[in-house]
Amino acid sequence: MNNFEAIASFYKLMNTPIMDAKKNEWGIDPYEWDRGLIQMTPIESWLWHDIRAVDAVFYPQYPVAGFFVDFANPRAKVAIECDGAEFHQDKAKDAARDKKLTDAGWTVYRISGKDCRDGVGSDSGSVARAFISSIANNHGLRRD
């Protein structure tokens, strides 16, 4: 289970280097959270693998507008939410959350847990990897 207070504090400390970096470059070590700060669900881990394979810049469990989005690029104000069945059954709640994020200037993308899982371990052709690649290309988030 994540300690969201600790995660929020970490990102508050790292805000300046993150925001000073270009939107397609890391402002901090992209593996900092691999040291135990953030515990990802299997769905998030699968998507994180595809994010790294595409070489896109996203930060996991990023605090935005009172929420923690699964993955975010705060420079581009792009968020990705992984929708696992048990956590996203309330579509009205998700829509209200997305509205708050879009009202704050963010673009929100959602991908199903099934699409995150399908193609796990493949080097290409997964739905999730194509999804991430499209977002990275559309917003200029792929590392140079």
Q: Give this prediction's pTM.
A: 0.90
Number of structural domains found in the chain: 1
pLDDT in the model for residue 144: 77
Looking from the CA of 36 toward its CB, the CA atoms found within 13 Å total 0
SS (H, E, C) 72-113: EECCCCEEEEEECCCCCCCHHHHHHHHHHHHHCCCEEEEEEH
Using alpha carbons only, what angle is made at residue 88 by residues 81 and 78, rounded to the nearest 5 degrees?
15
Mean confidence (pLDDT) of the chain: 88
What CATH number is given to the structural domain containing 133?
Answer: 3.40.960.10
Residue 96 belongs to some domain of the structure:
yes
Domain encompassing residue 107: 4-139
Q: Quick one: average pLDDT of 54-65?
A: 95
For residue 63, the surrounding DSSP H or E stretch is: strand 59-64
pLDDT in tens, 9-41: 999 999 999 999 999 999 998 777 767 788 888
Residue 144 belongs to some domain of the structure:
no
Quickly state the pLDDT bin for 100 (edges 50, 70, 90). very high
